[in-house]
Amino acid sequence: MVSLLDIIGPVMVGPSSSHTAGACRIGIIARALVGGTPDEAKVELHGSFARTGIGHGTDRAIAGGLLGYLPDDERLRESLEAATAAGMKVTFENTTLRGDHHPNTTRITVTRDGKTATLTGSSIGAGRILITAIDGFRVDLDGTYTTLVVVAQDRPGAVARVARALADQDVNLATMKVSRRQKGGDAIHVYELDSPPSEAAVEEIRAHSSVRTLRVIERVA
């Protein structure tokens, strides 16, 4: 079924919903992984992003997202200059990512206050995105929900602890997916939520001995 969004596109600063609106949203999620504007960002552009992205403003869109600008923010046009003024060092390079990736794909590595995170994301049309990897773990999230991304030791009770903390605050789970590299190692939990979690719920989850990292990603779609 063709939606109205597919026909008229998102509200955005142009010229391209894929190369600008979607790219901006990927930048916003990368920013969320380190809790704010990064000190440094390395942006690797793959496929069409590499071939035509600069001409379509992909670099400015991603930089704007890293600064917290939304796709319809006029400041996107001067985001590279704003990044420099904010003290964010951002570099761009073309690459060919291994595996099967959408043509409009980027891998972004961000660092803030000594914390580093890497994501791989694709802009799949009409401003929509798909994040396929975070810190080497395969994921599948599109930014349409507030999302908790938890890396925790793979052991009994880890998922139940998160679910209970959210339920105690009346936060409903829309989707949940857990994947691991090996039994007993680290696993990544992705919880898409119908409403934002309270700070109390976040702190309760973070305090669990199995949890390595917890990130809250606000909805961007």
Domain boundaries of the chain, sorted by first residue: 4-135, 146-217
* pLDDT number for residue 18: 65
Question: What confidence tens digit (pLDDT) does each residue in 55-101 have?
Answer: 889 999 999 999 999 998 999 999 999 999 999 999 999 999 998 99
Q: Which CATH superfamily is domain 146-217 in?
A: ACT domain (3.30.70.260)
Residues sharing a CB contact under 8 Å with residue 157, sequence separation 6 or more, in sequence order: 210
Exposed/middle/buried for 2, CB within 10 Å: 0-12, 13-18, 19+? Answer: exposed
Provide the CATH topology of domain 4-135: 60s Ribosomal Protein L30; Chain: A; (3.30.1330)
When pLDDT is cut at 50, 70 and 90, the band that residue 17 belongs to is low
* pLDDT number for residue 23: 95
* pTM recorded for the entire structure: 0.88
When pLDDT is cut at 50, 70 and 90, the band that residue 126 belongs to is confident
> Residue 28: enclosing H or E segment and its boundaries?
helix 23-33
Task: Provide the mean pLDDT of the chain.
Answer: 90
